[in-house]
Chain A
C-alpha cells in the first residue's frame, strides 16, 4: 500500500512538473494548449534569401503589371478630365 501511494505521488509530481508554466513537451511542440489554433507551418515572413541565391525576378513581372494598372487608372482619370 505504501509503495502504491509513493508511486502515485511520484507520477503526479512528474506530471505537475512537466505540465507547469507551458513546459509540457507537447505544449512546447505546439500541439496542445494553443486554443485550437494549429501552429503555423511556415513563418509569417519568408526568410531572407541566403547568399548565392538569385533575386526572384519572376515576381517583377507581377509588380510591373501592378504599375501598369496604376498608370492605366491614372490615364483613365486624366483622360476624363481632358
Chain B
C-alpha cells in the first residue's frame, strides 16, 4: 500500500475518533438541583450587576460625555440595576428549576447587558470624546490658518501648509460625518431575543467610532506638521 493511500484511509478514521470523543468532553454537566440552579443564576446576575457598577464609574469619569447621553445612560443603568436586583430576589423565591431557567433567560434577553448596554456606554463615551476633539481641532485649524495667512502676507510660500490645512478640514469633516447620529441610534436600540440583530446594530457604530478616531489622528498630524513648518 502506498503511503498516500494509507494516509487517505487514516484521516477519516482519525476524524471519526475525534468526533466520537468530542461530545463527551464538550458537554458540561448542568446543575440538576434547584439549589444549584439558583447558585448559578445568582452568580450570573451578580456578574451583570458588577458590570453595571463599572459602567457607572466609567460614565462618571467620562468628562466629554454630553449631558444628554449621560442622562440617558444613567437612566438605563439605574433601570437595569433595579430590574436585575429584583430578578435576583425572584430567583431566590423560585420553586422549580424551570422557573429559575426562565429567570435566567429574562436576565439575558430583557437586559442584554454584555451585548448592548456595555457597547452603548463604551461607544457613547468614545464618540463624545471624538466629538469634543473635532471641536477643539476646529480652533486649532483656525489659529493655524491665521498663522499661514500671516506667513503668506510676508511673502512666504505656504502652499504646503495650505494643502495640509485643507486636509485637516477634510479629516474633521469626515470624522463628523462618520459620527453623525450614530450614538443616538445606538442608544435607541432595545434589548431583545435576536442577538444577531443587536450585533448588527452595534457594528456600524463601532466602525464609525473607529473611523472617526483615525480621521482625527490624521488631522492632528496635519496640525503638528503645519505647526512645525511655521516655527
Contacts and interface: CB of A to CB of B under 8 A. Distances in A.
Contacts of A70: 64, 129-130, 132-133, 136
Contacts, number: 88
A67 B137 contact: yes
Given A60-B144, A67-B137, 13 more contacts: A55-B147, A57-B230, A57-B231, A59-B143, A60-B223, A60-B227, A67-B216, A68-B220, A71-B129, A73-B62, A77-B125, A78-B210, A81-B122
7 contacts: A57-B227, A60-B140, A71-B133, A71-B213, A77-B122, A78-B126, A81-B206
Interface residues of B, number: 36
Prevailing SS type, chain A contact patch: helix
B64 A64 contact: no
Nearest to A68: B220
Prevailing SS type, chain B contact patch: helix
A80 B122 contact: yes
A67 B217 CA distance: 9
Interface string B192-231: 0000000000000010011001001100100110010011
Contacts of A68: 220
